[in-house]
Structure 1
Amino acid sequence: MTSDSLTSDFSAAKPTILVVDDVPENIEVLGELLQPQYRVRAAQSGARALQVARTPPIPDLILLDVMMPGMDGYAVFTALRDDPLTCDIPVIFVTALDGLQEEEKGLELGAVDYISKPLRPTIVQARVRIQLELKRARDRLRNQNHFLEAEIARRMGENLPVQEVSIRALARLAEIRDPETGNHLRRTQAYVSVLAQRLALNPRYTERLDRRTIELISKSAPLHDIGKVGIPDHILLKPGKLTADEWAIMQTHARLGSEAIEHAEKDAERPVPFLASAKEIARHHHEWWDGSGYPDGLIGEAIPLSARLMALADVFDALISKRVYKQPITQNGARDMICAARGTHFDPDVVDAFVAEFPRFAEIANRYGDEAAE
């Protein structure tokens, strides 16, 4: 019988136990005690134990002697826990040491149990059986969790494309009313994403603009003008300058969009995060940093960050786009106008992010130009 293998022709379905002890007689005793029920492997040193523990079949349980020359049981246990392949294998310390201090040390390190020599067969078998049952329960729970995580990921993968299409379809309701907006939704969504990613590099915004938040803001951006479906055609499509009364009606699109999204929130069975972001953007993307915007006249950081990002993206795209009531201006001209409105119309930090990312804005504008849409 070799020191590193006590296996017989047992079914692979049997739990595997690794016995680690520098005394061959101790290995013999545990092997004979456990082999009728378990597949038993053995190692006579700490270094060999680490090799065996990594070799299939991976042990389901390790009985580890504490007092060994060279690498003692505590050092072996630490190495097992540092290795991702063996870190979850339960370990029972086995030792001739008679003292609570040593037992406490082993349990504090993370051992699942502690058996004292001389070995008592009934005690050994009971404790081994209990720890293997606990491991099977943990493995079942882990497998169930993995299955649930995979199922959630699968269903999310199925739902996200539907959600994206639904968002864009809703946004198109407003765009269809105003056929000259072309690729406005796609461009402004891309601008907002670029701005948010740049602003996240600013220490003041790093925690507020994590990856998930940026995704939510970007996803909800196309709904910023959904309220325009409630604006009469003779105002929405008017080729000339609006009268004061007409302009007052046009401004209501921010409130109308917010209220429509709020109704959708109430109809949902559970909170929908992107709708909360969309509601903020729809209502507040026409607010000005200095408080002179609409509909609520919010000032500075009282304006939701998502709406501050959308405000700049929306204005930049409007400036460089042709409308029935105006000709487009150049991208550089739009940049200069936005910079001139830093601290009045726009959040200064958002303007700084825009300037830093202006080449990407220009690239997005060129890639999704209205000529391509036509």
Structure 2
Amino acid sequence: MLTEKPVGKSTILVVDDTPDNIDLLRAVLEDEYRTKIAVNGERALRIAAGSDQPDLILLDIMMPGMSGYDVCRALKADPHTAGIPVIFVTAMGEVADEQLGLALGAVDYITKPISAPLVLARIKTQLGMKRMQDFLRDQNQYLESEVERRVQEVAALQDVTIHVMASLAETRDTETGNHSRRTAYYLRALAQQVRHLPRFRDFLTDKNIDMLFKTAPLHDIGKVGIPDHILLKPGRYEPHEMEIMKTHTTRGRDAIEAAERELGIEVDFLRHAKQIAYSHHEKWDGSGYPQGLAGEAIPISARLMALADVYDALISRRIYKDGISHQEAVRMIVEGRGTHFDAEIVDAFLQIQDQFVAIAERYADGASEIHDKQRRIAPFAGQTTTLS
């Protein structure tokens, strides 16, 4: 049975088939080191792979069965034993023999007859190097785990920040209910559908799609700055009120930019959030707001959100209107293909409209609305709408 290694005393495994050589090396080592003995290669490998591993191995080459070279190859091929320093101690003194031993991974090569001070000095050097390597490995593992912990912590803080900001916007506009959640899922579904198209491939990576999904609920964050008498008005807006309402895009961008200034750095999730908040009311033909951007000048994130936002607004009930059916919403979105919306995004929507139906049902705004939506949407689930 293996015993625990004495504290502060390194263990040397001596591998040799000659009793006189074993006795000599044991006598050289006994004052400073704990020794283990193996008289063949197979036994040496079992000891090296055990729970009480040696700190260094002194290895003869000429042995019956497995040669020292074979033992060294096996040690270095096993990740569990590859880090144990091996010093060949052998009567084979040709340069080619030493070259082969070092090429196989040995850290040193001592020829017999041995010099006790030389053996002790070389062992001390290699054990010192191993301790330093072990220290650096442990430090690297600690640093890697600490970096991973901090990355997870930052990601969690990021998610909480997004959730808090989105919840703040929803407290100002209770009519929208689960609108932010639904639009995030719509956007992700669209992004995954168009990601392999040439125009979208470079931008819609896994990382960016995940970031868009997380930041999509911030698209209406600017509504926190709209006066209550307009935001909560139980009816349609007058023209001057609509102009004020339109400023939620700029207010949203400005709020996010203010957060960036507080941080002192630009971060990806705020950059995406800013684009979506500022530009999701732009239209493909340039007739949208706030900048009147057209075509490819509109960020991809905003183009995706534009369709997601409009679809949800069409099918959702508001105090001043009833939601329309899925089929009617599809018809209106198709009418906006190439004018309001990017045509390829509309085509993608038509291909995955069943997913939109499922998302709308899953995240409906309450029991009564779930019933209404099911009544309006269910007859059209699975139906494919072609372009006119």
* TM score, norm. by length of structure 1: 0.79
Cα pair distance change 1:259/1:82, threshold 3 Å: farther
Which of 192-201 and 361-370 deviates more? 192-201
SS at match of 2:366: helix
* Match of residue 75, structure 2, among 76, 80, 88: 80
After superposition, the Cα gap between the structure-2 partners of 1:74 and 1:189, relative to the gap in structure 1 and judged at 3 Å, is: farther
1: CA distance, partners of 2:228 / 2:237: 12
Structure 2 unaligned blocks of 5 or more: 370-388
CA distance in 2, matches of 1:373, 1:109: 75
Residue segments in structure 1 that go unaligned for 5+ positions in a row: none
28-37 or 255-264: bigger deviation: 28-37
1:294 match: secondary structure? coil
> Is the aligned partner of 1:131 residue 2:145?
no
- Quickly say closer, same or farther: Cα 1:128–1:174, change in 2 above 3 A: same
- Corresponding residue for residue 306 of structure 1: 301
Note if 1:166 corresponds to 2:161.
yes
What is the alpha-carbon distance in structure 1 between the residues aligned to residue 35 and residue 240 of structure 2?
Answer: 88
**Counterpart mapping for 1:249-264 below 5 A:** 249-264=244-259
- Any conservation in 1 of the 2:5–2:11 contact (CA below 8 Å)? no
Aligned partner (choices 117, 132, 149) of residue 122 of structure 1: 117
Residue 53 of structure 1, CA deviation: 1.9
Q: CA deviation at 1:295?
A: 3.1
Deviation of 1:282 after TM superposition, in Å, equals: 1.5
Assess if the C-alpha contact under 8 Å between 2:4 and 2:52 holds in 1.
no
Query: What amino acid does structure 1 have at the position aligned with 2:46?
Result: Q
Aligned counterpart in structure 1 of residue 179 of structure 2, from 175, 184, 187: 184
| 2:82 aligned counterpart, secondary structure | coil
| Structure 2 residue corresponding to 1:265, chosen from 260, 263, 266 | 260
Query: Deviation at 1:208?
Result: 4.9
Deviation track 1:54-104 (CA, whole Å, cap 9, x = no partner) reads: 111123233344555665445444443443322333333444444555545
Q: Does 1:112 align with 2:107?
A: yes
Match of 2:278 in 1: 283
Does the Cα contact within 8 Å between 1:64 and 1:93 map onto a contact in 2? Answer: yes
- Report deviation, 1:264: 0.8
Matched, 1:318 2:303: no
- Structure 1 residues 51, 240: closer, same or farther in 2, change over 3 A? same
Superposed displacement of residue 181, structure 1: 0.4
Give how far 1:262 is off.
Answer: 1.1
Structure 1 residue 146, shift from structure 2 partner = 3.7
Deviation of 1:216 after TM superposition, in Å, equals 2.6
Residues 250-308 of structure 1: CA distance to partner in whole angstroms, max 9, x if unpaired? 33322221121111111115554322222222222233445544334445554434333
AA in 2 matched with 1:169: V
From 48, 54, 59, give the equivalent of 1:53.
48
Q: Pick the aligned partner of 2:210 from 215, 221, 230.
A: 215
- What's the % identity of the aligned pairs? 54
Residue in structure 1 matched with residue 289 of structure 2 by the alignment: 294
Equivalence for 1:327: 322
- Kindly report the root-mean-square deviation, in angstroms, between the aligned alpha carbons of the 2 structures: 3.8
* Contact 1:20/1:45, CA 8 A, preserved across alignment: yes
User: Does the 8 Å CA contact 2:5/2:52 hold for their aligned counterparts?
Assistant: no
Whole-Å separation in 2 of the counterparts to 1:290 and 1:103: 77
Q: Check whether the contact 1:221–1:310 (CA below 8 A) recurs between aligned residues.
A: yes
Q: What SS does the aligned partner of 1:370 have?
A: coil
Q: Residue 225 of structure 1 contacts residue 254 of structure 1 at CA under 8 Å; is this kept in 2? A: yes
Q: Is the 8 A contact 1:8 1:39 kept in 2?
A: no
Alpha carbons of structure 1 residues 17 and 300: separation in structure 2 relative to 1, 3 Å: farther
Q: Residues of 2 paired with 1:107 and 1:346: CA distance?
A: 67
CA gap of 1:132–1:370, structure 2 versus 1, over 3 A, is same
**Partners of 2:116 and 2:368 in 1: CA distance:** 81
Corresponding residue of 1:366: 361
Shift of residue 361, structure 1, vs aligned partner: 3.2
What is the alpha-carbon distance in structure 2 between the residues aligned to residue 346 and residue 251 of structure 1?
19
Map 1:18-37 → 2, pairs under 5 A: 18-37=13-32
The alignment of Structure 1 onto Structure 2 pairs a total of residues equal to 369
What do the CA deviations read for 1:207-252 (whole angstroms, capped 9, x no partner)?
7555543433222222111112233344434455545554444333
Q: CA deviation at 1:353?
A: 5.2
**Structure 2 counterpart of 1:367, which letter?**
R
TM superposition shift of 1:108: 4.8
Letter matched to residue 39 of structure 1: R
TM-score (norm 2): 0.76
Over alpha carbons, which structure has the higher Rg? 2
- Structure 1 segment 226-265 matched on structure 2, within 5 A: 226-242=221-237, 245-265=240-260
Pair 1:143-2:147 in alignment: no
Give the equivalent residue in structure 1 for 2:372: none
